[in-house]
Amino acid sequence: MGARKVSSDEYLFDPDLLKNLDWGSVINCLNPPITNETPGEPWLLVRPLCISDYNKGYVQILSQLTTVGNVSKTDFERQFMNMRKAGGYYITVIEDTRINRIIGASSLITEFKIIHNCGIRGRLEDVVVNNTYRGKQLGKLIVLTVSLLAKKLGCYKMSLDCKDSLIPFYKSIGYKLEPGNANSMITRYEETSKPVDPS
Ligand SMILES: CC(C)(COP(=O)(O)OP(=O)(O)OC[C@H]1O[C@@H](n2cnc3c(N)ncnc32)[C@H](O)[C@@H]1OP(=O)(O)O)[C@@H](O)C(=O)NCCC(=O)NCCS
């Protein structure tokens, strides 16, 4: 089954931003070498999240990462539009175009700062590969894609939080624990209250 043509207003961000990323700088991380533009199989497509991806299982795949809750198509589309309006959200997915399903995803969230000469900081969030596709470098591919996008956008750093067991995974693609500066602290709020709608 061929991929349906997607109109540009369905994307969360401009797909051209994913062109010509600096894969040369991470060539040693992948064996065999693959990139977002040449992902190793003709049926793998790396692209920005689309508003129609609810029907391709984006929400379902996130449930392999954490609790998602009961997110309807309307909820998803509203939040997608909130993200697009706000800007700075670069959710990137891998689609298996043979079956029109999302099989991997990763988010780059950018933050405008005053420090670092009014710089931009990147945060890596919501990394997941469908369990039947794991161990084929797709995790590395999707994380490196958004990491190189952060570099292209001019971020001065990219940070992430992860379980101890995933430290080797992130180290294998260039992330480091900074001695004296590698703690992650959290305060959690009840999820019962409805978030404020920015629109
Ligand atoms: C983490 C995850 C995205 C990796 O996806 P993947 O497609 O299997 O990753 P890759 O094939 O690119 O694996 C790269 C390396 O990381 C290792 N690795 C992958 N998942 C791992 C895990 N859960 N624990 C420890 N090592 C892991 C692999 O063994 C592989 O090592 P190698 O290169 O030495 O062989 C995937 O396991 C996943 O979706 N997990 C559930 C969600 C999750 O925990 N997300 C991360 C939140 S921070």
Determine the pLDDT at residue 198.
Answer: 65
Asked if the structure places residue 153 within a domain, the reply is yes
Q: Pairing state of beta strands 101-112 and 44-48?
A: unpaired
pTM of the model: 0.94
DSSP state of 37: S
Q: Are 95 and 130 in contact (CB under 8 A)?
A: no
Tell me what the pLDDT averaged over the chain comes to.
94
Q: Pairing state of beta strands 155-159 and 44-48?
A: unpaired
Q: Which atom of ligand 1 is nearest to the CA of 141?
A: 12
Determine the pLDDT at residue 1.
Answer: 45
In the chain, which residue ranges form alpha helices assigned H by DSSP?
58-62, 73-86, 115-118, 138-153, 167-171
Asked if the structure places residue 134 within a domain, the reply is yes
84-124 pLDDT, tens digit each: 999 999 999 999 999 999 999 999 999 999 999 999 999 99
Q: Is the CB of 65 under 6 A from ligand 1?
A: yes
Give the domain range for residue 16: 8-171
Determine the pLDDT at residue 129.
Answer: 98
Residue 64 pLDDT > 50, yes or no?
Answer: yes
CATH code at 92? 3.40.630.30
Structurally, the chain folds into a number of domains equal to 1
